[in-house]
Each structure stands twice: as structure tokens, then as C-alpha cells.
Chains A and B, each alone.
Chain A
Amino acid sequence: QLQLQESGPGLVKPSETLSLTCTVSDGSISTSTYSWDWIRQPPGKGLEWIGTISYAGITYYDPSLKSRVTISIETSKNQFSLELSSVTAADTAVYYCARLESATYFHYWGQGTLVTVSS
């Protein structure tokens, strides 16, 4: 069964860059069948899509975050990563990584990791 695990600092200072990695286990990230996404959920609020990356490195980002987001993929490590720059308290959220299937739905999700932006 495919597993995804987010990792990274749980606390980031305002104006700094949030960096998270998603490690994929029991399955290869190097397949054109799937894409790999980041989704976040601020405390007490709904799901917010951040962006996606394909095996070939093609990315799409949410328009509201596009100027601050970079998603990259490291096939040799079976990982993909998120960088969000110039963070503020509004970026405090649980961050999830997920696998996009048939370009339409998320079947596998990581457990999520809480990132708090605070000095």
C-alpha cells in the first residue's frame, strides 16, 4: 500500500521560507500515471490546494500563492518538496501531500504536518 509522509520544521518565523518534503514509500514517484500535490488546511478551516507537480516536472500552482510557491521532485529519493516563501501567520496550517490519480482525484494522502508561523 502506497504511503506518503510529510516532514519538515513545525515552526517557521514570519518572512522566512517554509520547506517541507513528502517521502513516497511502497510505490515509485517516477511514473507518468500520477501527479503529486500539496494541500493545506488552516486551523478550523477548509482544504486549500497549493499546487501539483508531474513526474516530468510540470507544475501548476494556486494563483493566490503562485508568486511564493515552488514544488520540486527528486525521483532518485522518491520525494517531492514544497517551498513557500515570505510566510505570515496566515500560512499556519496542516500541510498534506497527496497523489493525484487520473488527473482528477486524490486517493492517497499523507497524515499531514502542522506548520506554525510565529516569531
Chain B
Amino acid sequence: QSVLTQPPSVSAAPGQKVSISCSGSGSNVGSDSVSWYQQLPGTAPKLLIYEDNKRPSGIPDRFSGSKSGTSATLGITGLQTGDEADYYCAAWDRSLSARVFGGGTKLTVL
């Protein structure tokens, strides 16, 4: 059972938009920056969003991040088949003194 809760799966058609939630508590999401990672099959995770809503260089603006209270959200617009991947959120948990990941969300682009 992960400290951060994500839906196991989401799906949408090409061109549509999808949101992936990451629910935590005041000791993690509510008090620390959230980052998001994309993991394509058989590859290492790739940073998509850092410090809640910032995109690294090279990440298209189709990807966005937001946070409100103890929940964070990754938004993806203009879905492409190449976006099919697992997505993870992460944050520092000050009660555990440990970094915690969400359980991951598998995105299917139908």
C-alpha cells in the first residue's frame, strides 16, 4: 500500500485529455513539492513535472501539474499513442523522513 494514492489506470482517446490524481497527506503532498515521472515500458523513469507545476526543458506543454492541499494532479492534453506509459508521483514525507512514490497509474490511449 503506497503512501501516495494514484488510480491504477486511466484511459482516453487520441487527442483527448486526461488527469491523473495523487492523493497524500499533510506530511507529504501538503508540505513538500510533488514531482511526476513517466515510465515507458522497459525504460527508466523520466521527469515530467517538478516542484508541483514546472516542466523540464524538452517536456511539451501538453503536460501540466497542479496541486491543491494534499492532492496533486498531472494533466495531459492532446493525447498521443506515445503517451501510453506508467506515471508516478513522488514527494518527501516529513513524518517518515523518507521519499514516497505513488503506486503508479497506467495510461492507455485507446
Contact = CB atoms under 8 A, between A and B. Distances in A.
B97 interface: yes
Interface in A81-117: 96, 101-107, 109-112
B97 A60 contact: yes
Which range holds the interface residue count of chain A? Answer: 20 to 34
Nearest to A96: B44
Nearest to A66: B98
Contacts of B91: 104
A52 interface: yes
Contact of A107 (B50, B92, B98): B50
For chain A, what secondary structure do more than half of its interface residues adopt (helix, strand, loop), or is it mixed?
Answer: strand
Contacts of A48: 101
A105 B88 contact: no
A46 B103 contact: yes
Contacts of B85: none
Contacts of A62: 98
Given A46-B101, A104-B51, A110 B35 contact: no
A102 B2 contact: no
B97 A104 contact: no
B44 A105 contact: no
Given A46-B104, A102-B51, A104-B50, A109 B44 contact: yes
B35 A106 contact: yes
A63 B100 CA distance: 11
Interface in B15-33: 32-33
21 contacts: A37-B99, A46-B86, A46-B88, A46-B104, A47-B104, A49-B90, A49-B98, A49-B100, A62-B98, A96-B45, A101-B50, A102-B33, A104-B33, A104-B50, A105-B33, A105-B35, A105-B50, A106-B35, A106-B47, A107-B50, A109-B46
Given A49-B98, A49-B99, 6 more contacts: A47-B45, A47-B90, A49-B100, A104-B32, A109-B44, A111-B44
